[in-house]
């Protein structure tokens, strides 16, 4: 499953990779709080 969030709209769509795909996050836009994003992502990874 892949998602895109742009201009306050969320789009979800199914992807079918040809092989094993690692988790990837792409943030596009301005003024993302980098430190906060890194902290939250790290917390999520620890919850797995």
| Domain map (residue ranges) of the chain | 2-47
Nearest-angstrom CA–CA distance, 16 and 18: 7
The confidence score (pLDDT) of residue 4 equals 67
pTM of the model: 0.44
The confidence score (pLDDT) of residue 9 equals 73
The confidence score (pLDDT) of residue 43 equals 92
Judge whether 25 and 44 are in contact, CB under 8 Å. no
Q: Is residue 26 classed as helix, strand or coil in its secondary structure?
A: coil
Write out pLDDT tens, residues 10-48. 777 777 888 888 877 777 777 878 888 889 888 988 987
């Amino acid at each position: 499953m892949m998602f895109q969030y742009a201009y306050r709209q969320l789009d979800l769509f199914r992807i079918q990779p040809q092989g094993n795909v690692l988790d990837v996050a792409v943030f596009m836009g301005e003024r993302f709080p980098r430190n906060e994003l890194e902290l939250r992502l790290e917390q999520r990874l620890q919850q797995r």
